[in-house]
Structure 1
Amino acid sequence: MKKKFLVVVPIFNEEDKIQSVVEETINHSDSFADLLLVNDGSTDNSSFLLEKMKSKYPNIHLIQKPKNEGYGASLISGMKFSKDMGYEFFITMDCDEQHQPEDLVRFRNEDTSYDLVSGSRYLPESGIQGISAPPERVEINRRITTLLSKRYDWKITDSFCGYKRYRTRAFPAENFLETGYAAPMELWSYVKMKNLSWKEIPVDRIYITDSRSFGEDLDKKRKRYHYYLKIFYSSEKRFQMD
């Protein structure tokens, strides 16, 4: 029987975590979902390990990108694959152990009338694990979340969590252009401009390391924040014109 759900996992240089994340993901989702691993041009041993995992598990699909295209590009690849293969929903989760595979069933069980179910690390029910969240990332998230809440009259608490469930037909891949970490800015403006239904559910806030690089100048807080705003406003304008 065809499964309704696809789990999409973007991967870049995660050789130390791939096996445990993939196996835990399959353990918690194999009964209702297939798994798409998107290797975004990793330069470590990820490619080899992913091929081994694919040969071991029949419900794994694998996209091997020859060069790094960006986090947003991996999400767009997942959107396209989900549509092409006929999945009704897809769930995105990261491969850095910040998203708990046991939460997949909660995303599966949420009301299917919603076009988007978004994880939030800042709801009262959300737990905290690991080290403290990097202050600059918390600040940027808070500022963008406040902007969305005021501009759209929303009660949103976390604008950047990548743990999400999408209705495939509501998010055509060809509508999305942002290939980098500003993908959530494009996503939320699309949700508003297309009047899609959404809700948040609590997920734990887990930070194992604070060493993530956003690439070149975007590691600088001010430039990253202004880049996010640029993508947000340009996306609004583009979707209003559609």
Structure 2
Amino acid sequence: MLLAVPVYNEESNLPLFFPALFADLPEAIDEVLFINDGSSDASPSLLEETRRPGVDIVHHTTNQGYGQAMITAMTEARRRGHEYLITMDCDRQHRPEDIRHFIDADPAIDVVSGSRYLPSSRRCGDAPEDRVEVNSRITTRLNRRFGFRLTDAFCGFKRYRMQNIDPALFTERGYAFPMEFWAYAAVEGLSIEELAVSRIYTTDSRSFGEDLDRTRKRYHYYLKVLHQSTVRFSALHA
């Protein structure tokens, strides 16, 4: 099982994340892979300090986007022969102790997706209102369109069963990657189960880049990628 962590300019978080992650890493995790997405701060050197057997780093020479980091993680999981891939963020919004819950989930499930909005999800801090609104509206759209029963469309804390996922088919390199993935999951008939994870927000300063910081623009960007991906995967599956 591979644990993959995307990293982009996280020099302030990595010194806190590393001890929390490695203090009690489950034995089921055979390998940890950090994907440095072209960071311009001290993140690359901090990551290199962790390199050892079982801990590896892939460096993107330029910032290619969150989606590309996910595609790289999936591609590496398959290339390295891992049956399962767990992805999590290093900005302290995901708790390393929750990794065990993903490991313990039903091994037959194709996608175990973290949710910050299940009744049993712990809450620490208030999520920015615009993100809650966009997440809720997009999640509702996905459920109506595909018959899903999701409560959180955007949580990056996930476990993937790689035998039924082909990362070579993904093209979305930005923050709309979850839209492309959910379209793929629907067309391919992947089994999905949500798992409660903590909703942790210590800052609302994240930027989506350019005018995607505007809520309306970001919402329509997600819908566009969702529609295009559904059409494309449906055609490939026909």
TM-score, normalising length: structure 2: 0.96
Tell me the percent identity: 47
Instruction: Indicate the residue corresponding to 2:24 in structure 1.
Output: 28
In the alignment, structure 1 residue 13 sits paired with structure 2 residue 9: yes
Segments of 4+ moved more than 2 angstroms: 26-30
TM-score, normalising length: structure 1: 0.95
Instruction: Indicate the residue corresponding to 1:175 in structure 2.
Output: 169
1:32 shift after superposition:
1.5
Task: Give the whole-Å Cα distance in 2 for the aligned partners of 1:153 and 1:29.
Answer: 35
Could you report, residue by residue, the CA deviation over 1:175-210 in whole angstroms, capped at 9, with x for unpaired residues? 111001001100111110000101001001000100
In the alignment, structure 1 residue 43 sits paired with structure 2 residue 69: no
1:30 shift after superposition:
4.6
Unaligned runs of 5+ in 2: none
Judge conservation of contact 1:28–1:105 (CA < 8 Å) in 2: no
Task: Give the whole-Å Cα distance in 2 for the aligned partners of 1:52 and 1:178.
Answer: 31
Of 30-39 and 69-78, the range deviating more from structure 2: 30-39
Instruction: Indicate the residue corresponding to 2:222 in structure 1.
Output: 228
Instruction: Indicate the residue corresponding to 1:238 in structure 2.
Output: 232
Of 119-128 and 22-31, the range deviating more from structure 2: 22-31
1:150 paired residue among 129, 144, 165: 144
Write the mapping of 1:199-210 to structure 2, written as runs, cut at 5 A.
Answer: 199-210=193-204
Judge conservation of contact 1:28–1:104 (CA < 8 Å) in 2: no
Judge conservation of contact 2:26–2:100 (CA < 8 Å) in 1: no
Judge conservation of contact 2:5–2:87 (CA < 8 Å) in 1: yes
Give SS of 1:225's match. Answer: helix
Judge conservation of contact 2:37–2:62 (CA < 8 Å) in 1: yes
Write the mapping of 1:1-242 to structure 2, written as runs, cut at 5 A.
Answer: 5-33=1-29, 34-54=31-51, 57-130=52-125, 132-242=126-236
Of 181-190 and 20-29, the range deviating more from structure 2: 20-29
Unaligned runs of 5+ in 1: none
Give SS of 2:50's match. Answer: helix
Judge conservation of contact 1:116–1:199 (CA < 8 Å) in 2: yes
